[in-house]
Amino acid sequence: MPRAGQVTRGLALGPSLLARYRRAGADPPFGDPARDHGAPFEGYYWRITDADRGRVVIALCGVCVLPRRRWAVLALASHPSGRVHTVITGRAAGDPARFGVRAEGIGEGSERELRLALGPDAALEVELRDLVGWPRPALGGSGPAHLLPGLPQYWHPWAMGGLVAGEARIGGESVPLDGARVYMEKNWGRAFPKRWWWGQADAFEAGDVCVAFAGGPMRVAGVRLTPTLVALRVGERLITLAPPLARTVARVGGGAWAVHARSAAYEVELEGDEAGSAVALPVPLADRVAAEPRSRQALAGRLGVVVRRRGRTLLRAESCLAGLEREREEGDCA
């Protein structure tokens, strides 16, 4: 993986039209949305779920651009401990060739491993195996929106399955993670959004199922939109619902999430709630090297999923180890 300085110098040397197109957030058909765009904000996220032990460990890295350098905020959090560890580093870089990021002095993550050291009592060192990558090369998780430069935010669930070997150290306690499942995603754009909703789960008794969704309000050409993107994998079948090819409606508030998405062939209903406490996670600020705890995420929420194809029910399942997130509001305790 290249060092941070190498990436910065490469971007400064007469960027091509494609490079400018990607820095504006867009990707051409059959591109790779997981690789670094050089956008003002690039977010990387790993979620590790050990259903047998009832454990969840998440790691995130938000890379931001300031004049002449890129910096990052990183966080490590776990359930059931509820601990969150956050570190800011002054130099960081995404991998321009594939999914991956390097934070100077903290660690790095790629499609094969994740190694982070956020302090003496907060570390993660795992190998990633048998990843179920995005199976549709033409477009990513944002659907046709990937083709449009300049949108406020883009989203791509890069790996909707896989296994972990290794362990975490949270609050000085060793947390074995061998055999746990991993989910990995990217989001990027002009800055981290002010308001959003998100969810992910892959611990279902129904078997090999993974679901993820993300959405939020935005303005495009002066028009207010509230898109929600849904990706659901049932075995080898991938179902994606993203505007304008699908109609999606989301209601989020009061500790509850409800998403209804419909395309010509599929209908997906998602109903979730925090089911207990949530943690506060850092969000990077756009104008300086700093972050604020503006994200509220339930690490072990409840998420019910119903999938129908042309009126016939394909899946009805529920997870009690779902990740459910929204922006923190005044009065939130976490």
pLDDT score, position 221: 79
Structure tokens belonging to residue 30:
């059959």
Backbone φ and ψ of 320, nearest 5°: -105, 10
Q: Which residues pair with 154 in a beta bridge?
A: 188
Flag residues of the chain having pLDDT under 50: 1-14
pTM: 0.92
Please name which of 259, 244, 231 lies closest in space to residue 136, comparing C-alpha atoms.
Answer: 231
Neighbours of 325 (CB within 10 A): 23
The pLDDT of residue 223: 85
Rounded alpha-carbon distances, angstroms, from residue 211 to 60, 246, 252 = 19, 16, 17
Geometric angle at alpha carbon 158, from 151 and 6, rounded to 5°: 75
Return the pLDDT at 333. Answer: 57
Q: What pLDDT sits at residue 6?
A: 30
**What per-residue confidence (pLDDT) applies to 297?**
98
Give me the pLDDT at residue 13, please.
30
Q: The tokens of 141 are what?
A: 């998780």
Name the amino acid, one letter, at 103. Answer: A
Count Cβ neighbours within 10 Å for each residue of 253-283 and write b for 16 or more, e otherwise. eebebbbbbebeebbbebbbbbbeebbbbbb
Given a contact cutoff of 8 angstroms between Cβ atoms, the answer to whether 246 and 262 are in contact is yes
